[in-house]
Structure 1
Amino acid sequence: MKRITAIFILILAAAVILAACSEPAHKVKITKIENVNMEKLKKMTGTYVGDNNKVYSIVQSLPGGETVKGIDLSAERIKVTYGLEEGSGISQEQFNKYWFNGKNVDKQNFYYNAIYLALLVPNSKGYSFEIEDTTLDVTRQQVEKELKEEFKDFPDVNDEEAVTKFIDKNKAKLKELASEEYQAFQ
């Protein structure tokens, strides 16, 4: 009986060790629109394209930010390339499930990110987002035109306090603007 118990304990210990080894040590969750930390974003209001670290921090805080492969800030345009980096803690399956789920998540994220970059980075002149074969290029004027048509109280983006209040008041509508049904910047 003691021998059976000892064998059982050894088998159980081996199973636990194998299960622990098969799980990734650090699994990263990719941020979705509904999970964006608005308080963190609002603290970065008034960031300028010349502040590379802050712009990068904003982009990483937006949907899909954990999959940013590169940022180009030349000519005061924010160009973001998304992809899967080795060692990121994100599996190919997780990456594909997030970006290419058949519900146009890529486009929704791009529109959402363009809206928030227009609000938070007042000197940016345009936005470009790219992932595999999908690209969105939009100018600041296009984004602002749509936002001003939608919101009569659209703030001066150089007034950080007004932008923060605007985001608080309109975050649900801003999310809706990026939705598949709306996508105003085409």
Structure 2
Amino acid sequence: MNQLKTIIMIMVAAVLLLAACAEPDNKVKIKTIDNVEIEKIKEMTGTYVGDNSKVNSIVQSLAGGETVKGIDLSGEEIKVTYGYEEGSEISEEQMNEYWFNGKNIDKKNFYYNAIYLTLLVPNAKGFEFTIDESTVQVTREQIEKELKEEFKDYPDVNDEEAVKQFIEKNKSKLKELASEEYQAFQ
């Protein structure tokens, strides 16, 4: 009987030790291209640059959105600055691991986000994304040119229903385009 109690106590101690060492469930993870909620952002189709809160919501719903420090919508352009903010739920270490992992995640995310902003915000003339010293700047024309070459069924961005259907039909290809061929936009 004492041996059984000892074994149970050791098992309880091991479980508690593992639980204490595990990453907390409430730790905020930075959104990657793979876990962007397409259904959520698709519903924001037809947002205009003048609607600051909706544009902000779109940007924060896209890849890296938890690290947005600021958005500037002047001149009908969407300029997003990413980085670490004191007091954020994201640690500086998490932010650095996410953005500076040596896999060009910044450029892939920037082009992915530009593709979706092109589709969702029809009056945006251009996009600028900055993290530390890395900046990517593209125009709507550059993004649309690539999308029209890639997709023969590229919709009129003013037709919200057509855009939603296009996103649903092509979400995998849009992700692939940003992830593997982001150089096409340079």
Q: Secondary structure at the match of 2:185?
A: coil
CA deviation after TM superposition for structure 1 residue 37, in Å? 0.5
Is 1:127 matched up with 2:127?
yes
CA deviation after TM superposition for structure 1 residue 182, in Å? 4.1
Partner of 2:139: 139
Q: Distance in 2 between matches of 1:35 and 1:145?
A: 26
Q: Distance in 2 between matches of 1:95 and 1:103?
A: 14
Is 1:76 matched up with 2:68?
no
Aligned length: 175
Instruction: Map residues 40-55 of structure 1 onto 2, 5 A cutoff.
Output: 40-55=40-55
In the alignment, is the contact (CA less than 8 A) between 2:107 and 2:182 conserved in 1?
A: no
Residue segments in structure 2 that go unaligned for 5+ positions in a row: 1-8
CA deviation after TM superposition for structure 1 residue 114, in Å? 0.3
Provide the TM-score with structure 1 as the length reference: 0.86
Equivalent pairs: percent with the same residue?
A: 75
CA displacement, residues 93-135 of structure 1 (integer Å, 9 cap, x when unaligned): 1111111111100000000000000000000000000000100
Q: Structure 1 pair 182/68, CA: closer, same or farther in 2 (3 Å)?
A: closer
- My pick for the range that moved more, 62-71 or 95-104, is 95-104
Partner of 1:56: 56
Code of the aligned partner of 1:114: A
Q: Distance in 2 between matches of 1:66 and 1:118?
A: 20
Q: Secondary structure at the match of 1:90?
A: coil
Q: Distance in 1 between matches of 2:91 and 2:52?
A: 28
Q: Structure 1 pair 74/165, CA: closer, same or farther in 2 (3 Å)?
A: same
In the alignment, is the contact (CA less than 8 A) between 2:108 and 2:182 conserved in 1?
A: no
Residue segments in structure 1 that go unaligned for 5+ positions in a row: 1-7
Q: Distance in 2 between matches of 1:144 and 1:25?
A: 40
In the alignment, is the contact (CA less than 8 A) between 1:69 and 1:83 conserved in 2?
A: yes
Return structure 1 stretches of 4+ with deviation > 3 angstroms: 23-26
Q: Distance in 2 between matches of 1:150 and 1:39?
A: 22
CA displacement, residues 5-47 of structure 1 (integer Å, 9 cap, x when unaligned): xxx9xxx8xx98xx59xx7794211000010001110110000
Please provide the CA RMSD for this pair: 2.3
Instruction: Map residues 12-51 of structure 1 onto 2, 5 A cutoff.
Output: 26-51=26-51
Code of the aligned partner of 2:34: E
In the alignment, is the contact (CA less than 8 A) between 2:99 and 2:106 conserved in 1?
A: yes
Partner of 2:108: 108
Q: Distance in 2 between matches of 1:161 and 1:64?
A: 27
In the alignment, is the contact (CA less than 8 A) between 1:68 and 1:82 conserved in 2?
A: yes
Q: Distance in 1 between matches of 2:165 and 2:181?
A: 26
Q: Distance in 1 between matches of 2:74 and 2:91?
A: 31
